[in-house]
């Protein structure tokens, strides 16, 4: 894919000579950032991709209407301003007139409309379609305004729109059917080439409305083994890297010249129980499991303490003090008593499944949980399987227990509606549902007052940990490591690498 | 007994034999539970503890005693290797004899099938079988056996073919011995020598393959231990806790060395003319 | 039928067998390209979306139909399209193959440069302490899995000598030979270690065999100097089995070193196949396994030819 790059160079020269400022547009310090990660993107369609690794790449190329900043506040991206109407049923955006796609075309309200219509079209298979179902119609009264007409007030809508899964793509590309095969976004970088499982080459988008990008481009290498990433950082073959394995991450600070950036994330480690199977159908047994598990101990042993014990709500704006939740202080006596009350004083046996390397700590977590549950007579058999097989069985809900790392969202409703509402499309994986959970989710969805929403979801959190369909454990960190040539990176709790647009590299 | 004596008279047989015997003793001790600690017990307060008087080879990430895990790990690796080689030998004998005895049609079909398996890269073949069946002890056995069956089939077919034409088989035939009798008595006896050598060497390869599969996470599953699995668990910890790397690494090396030395010695003793194995 | 003709006739038969075996086995693996691509989020697909994706991946046809279609393509030199790369399988393979080929060649160079002299030295000093040392080292080399060598080497280099292996963004040979060699040297040494051990052992025993042969003894009795006996009479004959062993080993290495490539983060053929299996990229698995088997068989055929050419005593009709 040498062609797009060549085209970019031509247009850069053309723009520079037209303005008579040849060379001045590029800061003197600009250079290429060499970067590494262990998991490669799996595809290029921003509306369909869900793999973390794909999102990280697409966030550099595409832009949504709004973004979330380091404190998870909604900040401008393509839109400069937005407003909900009094009744909460219309949402109006003013677009930034400076925003252009990397080919120089202005981002128009028609592009926004076409993008959301594509997401809402069931045939697209857009992964976040469910979050936008309240959108009834989209108006484009002038060249800078987009109006979303909603069927009901939808508080989480704005947050959902900040995801790269709601990226604005050119209407022309939708028509041509090239989304997913070619990339044309308004983000800070242009994807010049992609060799799956090997490398990506990105160059700065000189048409980016956000200002000058600090580097000329980014070369991303896919190094599946994170120890190799560390080795590459040490020898300065790589300036910047994404690290998943906490065991590798903790080694980074031991090296002079390398810094580790640790950012709490919304994704949560959880032990999913199957309340449709055997002893776990008993609420008391599930509660006993919750009481028997020492979450901090699992965290300390399997992740070297790299994380924080959490309840179901991992976003700071909604999180409550986990120690107030049911049995977050381990209590073996209570656990044994509960087992006896449920008629399982002699325990039972079950299987727990975990995926190889996803998360890297899964095997260790399963083994610690196994040893903790042995204390109350539960005999766990660990089944570690390749990620694909795991996913297959997870989707069918075919497991007794599962060690999982599930994705978090900035809004509790968008995060959990798929599991804990009656018609959630993953309710069969959750293996549990009750009227309280369902009605709390509905209330939370339509309530627009932040304080009241916080109360509703605190109630949700308290209830769900008490009925214990799942045992929420902890959240980890996302790690980035950089050498001292790199400066200016700002991490984001969503894991987004958008902060790379401000990074500079010294020679 | 005379074989045992000749092994110990042979320099590499002596060393190899001793290593293998020692490993078998360690494996048995591990299996019956005579380990310094419970290999599954997580002393989580003492995790990543360096080798000491309490923990001779240190502890791992979850605080388990490495020495004890090494013992059951050797046992596990041996069980997989012995079982898979036994299976490969059994199938190899049946196929090899069938090919030699029935000739023509059968011979061609069986040997082409073996060619197909041999043209398939060994580790990939094992990988595919395991991704189909799911990882675990017995699927590793099956996968490894599958990979080494062609070698045994060839080893059996060659001598069987030449034996078939020799006079004593003809003689036995004319004296009215039953087919089964001829097969089992004469041919098998004359195949024992090359097979013994091949089995010993195959054990070394099986250990190697098991270690590789477990290293990729497709062999033995935690909380059990095997030498390859211990190495893969040590991978990201080797700077913090080198003992996790060093002990299993040398255990694999010395174990395989033992079988290789023994195999060499057996080849010298049983078949002094041929120094080269049939690939 | 003569041996070579027979080999040539069975070649396509065996390739056909390999193609059926890989085709069936990859389809027996649970999970498909869709779950591999979407992960747990595949649960968000509606039945219609799933059906559309299945049609896209060609999973809606019968196995036989798929195989027939694929085989037809293969015969025309078309191995299909890889779903992960979105490119022709052949193109994907040819992009990673140079690395694998280079690694195999470098390992063979290491093996011959170390193994051959060591083997000859050991043979001419048979049963002396130096012979014993060479044999022990070779035995250890042959007994150590290459990934163990790799791990120990990385550890020893970085902790004891403060030298860091150059791992990272892979640089192809033609872009920057020096940088490329810096990255390849440790993997090549790692793979070359076991390879050299094999070469040492075979050249030693071949040399010993030849040195005890009658015509060498005759030459010696006639007063031909020892050095000349070794270099002009013994060595050329001893090289025959060395060629065989190196050829077979080289053939194996052309299939990619799955674990060593993984440990050293090299994007070679082995890693590509492994990832293709994990991502259920059927066309890529099929194509690359066929490619590997083809190379392996060709190399073996060439080794046999070389064997026949080098040793006039061999009559390939026999055996």
Neighbouring residues of A178: CB distance < 8 A, sequence distance ≥ 6: A184
Residues on chain C touching B115 (C-beta within 8 angstroms): 10, 14, 17
3-state secondary structure chain C: CCHHHHHHHHHHHHHHHHHHHHHHHHHHCCCCHHHHHHHHHHHHCCHHHHHHHHHHCCCCCCHHHHHHHHHHHHHCCCCCEECCCCEEHHHHHHHHHHHHHHHHHHHHHHHHHHHHHHHHHHHHCCCCHHHHHHHHHHHHHHHCCHHHHHHHHHHHHHHHCCCCCCCCCCCCCCCCHHHHHHHHHHHHHHHHHHHHHHHHHHHHHHHHHHHCCHHHHHHHHCCCCHHHHHHHHHHHHHHHHHHHHHHHHHHHHCCCCHHHHHHCCCCCHHHHHHHHHHCCCHHHHHHHHHHHHHHHHHHHHHHHHHHHHHCCCCCCCCC
Flag the least confident range among A138-147, A310-319, C274-283: C274-283
Closest Cα in chain C to A219: C169
Instruction: For residue B261, give the nearest of B6, B14, B16 by alpha carbon.
Output: B16
Report DSSP state, residue B71. H
Candidates B132, B222, B242: best to mutate against A (most CBs of A within 10 A) is: B222
Predicted confidence at residue A22, as pLDDT, reads: 37
Instruction: Using a pLDDT cut of 70, give the percent of chain A over it.
Output: 94
Taking the Cβ of residue B223 and every Cβ of chain C, the question of whether any pair is shorter than 8 Å is answered with: no
**B81 pLDDT above the threshold of 90:** yes
Which subunits have 3 or more CB–CB pairs within 8 Å of chain C?
A: A, B
Residues on chain A touching C168 (C-beta within 8 angstroms): 34, 36, 221, 223, 228, 231-232, 235, 237-238
Taking the Cβ of residue B216 and every Cβ of chain C, the question of whether any pair is shorter than 8 Å is answered with: yes
Q: Would the CB atoms of A391 and C37 count as touching at under 8 Å?
A: no
Residues on chain A touching B237 (C-beta within 8 angstroms): 247
- pLDDT tens digits, A325-375: 999 999 999 999 999 999 999 999 999 999 887 788 999 999 999 999 999
On whether the CB atoms of residues C144 and C230 are closer than 8 A, the answer is no
Inter-chain CB pairs, A–C, below 8 Å: 125
Candidates B139, B223, B239, B240: best to mutate against A (most CBs of A within 10 A) is: B223
How many CA atoms lie less than 13 Å away from A393 in the CB half-sphere? 23
Predicted confidence at residue A26, as pLDDT, reads: 42
Q: How confident is the model at residue A33 (pLDDT cuts 50, 70, 90)?
A: very high
Cα C104 to Cα C99: distance, rounded to the nearest angstrom: 9
Mean of per-residue pLDDT scores for chain C: 83
Instruction: For residue A77, give the nearest of A59, A89, A91 by alpha carbon.
Output: A59
Predicted confidence at residue B120, as pLDDT, reads: 81
Closest to B260 (Cβ–Cβ): which among C13, C142, C255?
C142
Closest to A301 (Cβ–Cβ): which among B61, B221, B223?
B61
More confident residue, C162 or A443: A443
DSSP lists the bridge partners of residue A378 as A348
Residues on chain B touching A386 (C-beta within 8 angstroms): 131, 135, 218
Closest to A248 (Cβ–Cβ): which among B47, B218, B236?
B236
Token reading at A454: 């916080």
Token reading at A400: 């007794």
- pLDDT tens digits, A361-401: 999 999 999 999 999 999 999 998 877 788 878 888 899 99
Candidates B38, B41, B44: best to mutate against A (most CBs of A within 10 A) is: B44
C40-76 residues labelled b (16+ CB within 10 A) or e (exposed): bbbbbbeeebeeebeeebbbeeeeeebbeebeebbee
Task: Compute the nearest-CA separation of C273 from chain B (Å).
Answer: 8
Candidates C85, C169, C172, C264: best to mutate against A (most CBs of A within 10 A) is: C169
Mean of per-residue pLDDT scores for chain B: 86
Candidates A363, A365, A389: best to mutate against B (most CBs of B within 10 A) is: A363
Taking the Cβ of residue A74 and every Cβ of chain C, the question of whether any pair is shorter than 8 Å is answered with: no
On whether the CB atoms of residues B90 and B145 are closer than 8 A, the answer is no
Predicted confidence at residue C317, as pLDDT, reads: 41
Closest to C148 (Cβ–Cβ): which among B121, B124, B231?
B231
Closest to A199 (Cβ–Cβ): which among C30, C52, C169?
C169
- pLDDT tens digits, C9-58: 888 888 999 999 889 888 888 766 666 665 555 655 666 666 766 766 66
Exposed, middle or buried by CB within 10 Å (0-12, 13-18, 19+), for C309? exposed
- For residue C139, the Cα-to-chain-centroid distance in whole angstroms is 21
Scan for tokens 């925003």, then name that residue: A99
Q: How confident is the model at residue A18 (pLDDT cuts 50, 70, 90)?
A: very low
Closest Cα in chain C to A231: C167
Closest Cα in chain B to C301: B119
Please give the model's pTM, rounded to 2 decimal places: 0.83
Q: Would the CB atoms of C143 and B204 count as touching at under 8 Å?
A: yes
Instruction: Using a pLDDT cut of 90, give the percent of chain B over it.
Output: 51
One digit per residue, the tens of pLDDT, for chain C of length 319 reads 567 777 788 888 889 999 998 898 888 887 666 666 655 556 556 666 667 667 666 667 778 888 888 888 888 888 888 877 778 899 999 989 999 999 999 999 999 999 999 999 998 888 888 998 998 899 999 899 988 999 898 888 877 776 776 677 778 888 888 888 888 999 999 999 999 999 999 999 888 888 877 777 777 777 777 777 777 777 877 888 898 889 988 988 988 788 888 888 888 999 889 888 888 888 899 999 999 999 998 998 888 888 777 765 544 443 3
Instruction: For residue A499, give the nearest of A60, A52, A142 by alpha carbon.
Output: A60
Q: Would the CB atoms of A364 and B61 count as touching at under 8 Å?
A: yes
Predicted confidence at residue B231, as pLDDT, reads: 93
Residues on chain C touching A402 (C-beta within 8 angstroms): none
Cα A40 to Cα A223: distance, rounded to the nearest angstrom: 9
Taking the Cβ of residue A39 and every Cβ of chain C, the question of whether any pair is shorter than 8 Å is answered with: no
Residues on chain B touching C157 (C-beta within 8 angstroms): none
Residues on chain C touching B121 (C-beta within 8 angstroms): 252, 255-256, 289, 292-293, 296
Closest to C143 (Cβ–Cβ): which among B115, B131, B256?
B256
3-state secondary structure A370-397: HHHHHCCCEEEEEEEECHHHHHHHHHHC
Q: Would the CB atoms of B42 and A251 count as touching at under 8 Å?
A: no
Flag the least confident range among B34-38, B209-213, C114-118, C163-167: C163-167
Closest to C273 (Cβ–Cβ): which among B124, B134, B261?
B124
Instruction: For residue A262, give the nearest of A302, A218, A325, A305 by alpha carbon.
Output: A305
Cα A305 to Cα A313: distance, rounded to the nearest angstrom: 20
Q: Would the CB atoms of A226 and B236 count as touching at under 8 Å?
A: yes
Predicted confidence at residue C148, as pLDDT, reads: 92
Residues on chain B touching C248 (C-beta within 8 angstroms): 279
Furthest-apart CA atoms within chain B: distance in Å: 76
Task: Compute the nearest-CA separation of C9 from chain A (Å).
Answer: 38
Q: Would the CB atoms of A386 and B135 count as touching at under 8 Å?
A: yes
Q: Would the CB atoms of B222 and A366 count as touching at under 8 Å?
A: yes
More confident residue, C224 or A281: A281
On whether the CB atoms of residues A447 and A276 are closer than 8 A, the answer is no
A481's enclosing H/E stretch is strand A470-483
Taking the Cβ of residue B221 and every Cβ of chain A, the question of whether any pair is shorter than 8 Å is answered with: yes
Q: Would the CB atoms of B135 and A247 count as touching at under 8 Å?
A: no
Q: Would the CB atoms of C169 and A237 count as touching at under 8 Å?
A: yes
Cα C201 to Cα C134: distance, rounded to the nearest angstrom: 9
Cα C199 to Cα C204: distance, rounded to the nearest angstrom: 8
Cα A8 to Cα A102: distance, rounded to the nearest angstrom: 9
Q: How confident is the model at residue B174 (pLDDT cuts 50, 70, 90)?
A: low
Q: Would the CB atoms of A383 and B221 count as touching at under 8 Å?
A: yes
The CA distances from residue C182 to B179, B230, B271, C59, C156, in Å, are: 63, 30, 45, 44, 17
Closest to A384 (Cβ–Cβ): which among B62, B222, B236?
B222
Which subunits have 3 or more CB–CB pairs within 8 Å of chain A?
A: B, C
- Residue B139, classed as helix, strand or coil, is helix
Residues on chain C touching A391 (C-beta within 8 angstroms): 31, 35-36, 39-40, 42
Q: Would the CB atoms of A36 and C168 count as touching at under 8 Å?
A: yes
Closest Cα in chain B to C262: B216
Mean of per-residue pLDDT scores for chain A: 88
């Amino acid at each position: 894919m040498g062609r797009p790059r060549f085209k970019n160079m031509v247009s850069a020269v053309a723009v520079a000579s037209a303005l008579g400022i040849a060379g001045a547009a590029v800061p003197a310090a600009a250079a290429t950032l060499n970067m590494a990660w262990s998991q490669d993107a799996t595809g290029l369609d921003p509306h369909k991709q869900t793999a973390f690794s794909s999102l990280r790449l697409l966030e550099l190329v595409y832009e949504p209407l709004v973004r979330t900043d380091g404190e998870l506040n909604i900040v401008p991206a393509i839109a400069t301003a937005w407003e909900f109407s009094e009744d909460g049923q219309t949402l109006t955006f003013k677009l930034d007139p400076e925003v252009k796609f990397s080919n120089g075309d202005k981002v128009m309200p028609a592009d926004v409309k076409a993008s959301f219509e594509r997401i809402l079209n069931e045939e697209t298979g857009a992964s976040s379609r469910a979050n936008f179902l309240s959108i009834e119609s989209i108006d484009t009264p002038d060249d800078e305004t987009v109006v979303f007409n909603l069927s009901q007030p939808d508080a989480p809508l704005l947050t959902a729109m900040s995801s790269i899964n709601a990226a604005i793509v050119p209407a022309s590309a939708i028509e041509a059917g090239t989304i997913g095969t070619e990339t044309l976004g308004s983000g800070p970088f242009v994807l010049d080439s992609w060799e799956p499982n090997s490398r990506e080459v990105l160059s700065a988008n000189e048409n980016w409305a956000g200002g000058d990008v600090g580097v000329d481009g980014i070369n991303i290498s896919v190094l599946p083994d994170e120890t190799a990433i560390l080795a590459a950082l040490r020898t300065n073959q790589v300036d910047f890297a994404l690290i998943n394995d906490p065991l590798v991450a903790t080694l980074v600070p031991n090296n002079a010249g390398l810094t580790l950036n640790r950012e709490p994330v919304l994704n949560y480690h959880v032990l999913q129980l199957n309340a449709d199977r055997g002893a776990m159908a008993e609420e008391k047994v599930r509660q006993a499991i919750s009481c028997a598990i020492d979450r901090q101990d699992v965290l300390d042993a399997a992740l070297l303490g790299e994380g924080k014990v959490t309840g179901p709500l991992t976003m700071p704006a909604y999180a409550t003090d986990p120690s107030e939740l049911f049995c977050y202080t381990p209590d073996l006596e209570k656990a044994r008593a509960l087992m006896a009350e449920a008629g399982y004083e002699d325990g039972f046996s079950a299987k727990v499944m975990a995926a190889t390397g996803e998360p890297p700590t899964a095997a260790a977590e399963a083994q610690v949980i196994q040893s903790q549950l042995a204390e109350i007579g539960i005999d766990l058999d660990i089944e570690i399987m390749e990620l694909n097989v795991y996913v297959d069985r997870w989707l069918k809900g075919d497991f007794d227990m599962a060690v999982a790392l599930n994705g978090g969202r900035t809004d509790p409703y968008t995060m959990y509606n798929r599991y804990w509402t009656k018609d959630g499309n993953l309710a069969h994986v959750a293996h549990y549902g009750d009227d309280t959970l369902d009605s709390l989710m509905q209330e939370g969805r339509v309530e627009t007052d932040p304080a009241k929403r916080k109360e509703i979801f605190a109630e949700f959190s308290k209830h769900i940990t008490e009925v214990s369909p799942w045992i929420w454990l902890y959240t980890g960190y996302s790690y980035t490591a950089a050498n001292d040539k790199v400066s200016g990176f700002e991490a984001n709790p969503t894991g987004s690498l958008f902060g790379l647009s401000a990074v500079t590299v010294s020679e | 007994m005379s074989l045992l004596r000749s092994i110990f008279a042979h320099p590499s047989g002596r060393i190899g034999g001793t290593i293998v015997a020692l490993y078998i003793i360690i494996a048995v001790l591990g299996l019956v539970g005579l380990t310094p600690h419970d290999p599954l017990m997580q002393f989580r307060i003492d995790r990543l503890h360096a080798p000491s008087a309490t923990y001779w080879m240190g502890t791992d990430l979850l605080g388990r005693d490495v020495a004890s895990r090494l013992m059951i790990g050797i046992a596990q690796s041996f069980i997989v290797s012995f079982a898979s080689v036994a299976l490969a030998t059994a199938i190899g004998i049946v196929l090899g004899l069938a090919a030699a005895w029935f000739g023509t049609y059968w011979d061609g079909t069986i040997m082409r099938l073996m060619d197909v398996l041999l043209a398939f890269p060994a580790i990939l073949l094992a990988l595919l079988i395991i991704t189909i069946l799911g990882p675990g002890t017995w699927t590793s056995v099956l996968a490894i056996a599958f990979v080494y069956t062609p070698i045994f089939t060839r080893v059996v077919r060659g001598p069987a073919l030449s034996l078939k034409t020799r006079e004593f088989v003809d003689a036995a035939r004319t004296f009215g011995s039953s087919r089964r009798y001829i097969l089992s008595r004469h041919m098998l006896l004359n195949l024992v020598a090359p097979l013994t050598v091949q089995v010993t060497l195959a054990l070394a390869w099986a250990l190697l393959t098991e270690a590789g599969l477990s290293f990729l996470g497709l062999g033995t599953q935690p909380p059990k231990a095997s030498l390859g699995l211990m190495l893969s668990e040590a991978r990201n910890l080797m700077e913090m806790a080198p003992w996790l790397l060093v002990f299993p690494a040398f255990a694999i090396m010395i174990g395989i060395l033992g079988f290789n030395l023994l195999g060499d010695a057996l080849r010298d003793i049983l078949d002094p003319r041929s120094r080269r194995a049939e690939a | 039928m003569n041996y070579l003709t027979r080999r040539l006739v069975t070649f396509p038969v065996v390739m056909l067998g390999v193609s059926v075996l890989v085709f069936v086995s990859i389809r027996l693996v649970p999970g498909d390209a869709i779950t591999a691509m979407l992960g747990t989020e595949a649960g968000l697909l509606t039945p219609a979306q799933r059906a559309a994706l299945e049609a896209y991946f060609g999973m809606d046809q019968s196995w036989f139909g798929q195989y027939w279609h694929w085989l037809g393509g293969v015969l025309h030199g078309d191995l299909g399209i890889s779903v992960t790369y979105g490119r022709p399988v052949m193109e994907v393979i040819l992009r990673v193959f140079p690395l694998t080929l280079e690694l195999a060649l470098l390992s063979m160079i290491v093996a011959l440069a170390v193994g051959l002299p060591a083997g000859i030295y050991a043979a001419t000093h048979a049963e002396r302490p130096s012979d014993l040392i060479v044999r022990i080292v070779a035995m250890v080399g042959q007994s150590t899995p290459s990934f163990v060598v790799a791990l120990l080497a990385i550890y020893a280099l970085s902790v004891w000598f403060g030298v860091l292996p150059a791992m990272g963004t892979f640089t192809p040979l033609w872009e920057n030979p020096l940088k490329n060699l810096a990255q390849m040297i440790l993997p090549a040494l790692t793979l070359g270690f076991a390879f050299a051990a094999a070469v040492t052992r075979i050249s030693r025993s071949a040399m010993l065999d030849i040195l005890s042969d009658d015509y060498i003894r005759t030459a010696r009795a006639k007063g031909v100097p020892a050095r000349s006996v070794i270099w002009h009479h013994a060595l050329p004959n001893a090289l025959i089995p060395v060629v065989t062993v190196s050829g077979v080993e080289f053939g194996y290495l052309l299939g990619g070193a799955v674990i060593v490539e993984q440990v050293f983060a090299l994007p070679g053929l082995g890693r590509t196949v492994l990832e293709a299996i994990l991502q259920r990229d059927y066309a890529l698995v099929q194509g690359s396994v066929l490619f590997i088997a083809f190379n392996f068989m060709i190399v073996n055929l060439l080794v046999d030819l070389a064997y026949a050419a080098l040793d006039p005593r061999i009559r390939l009709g026999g055996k």
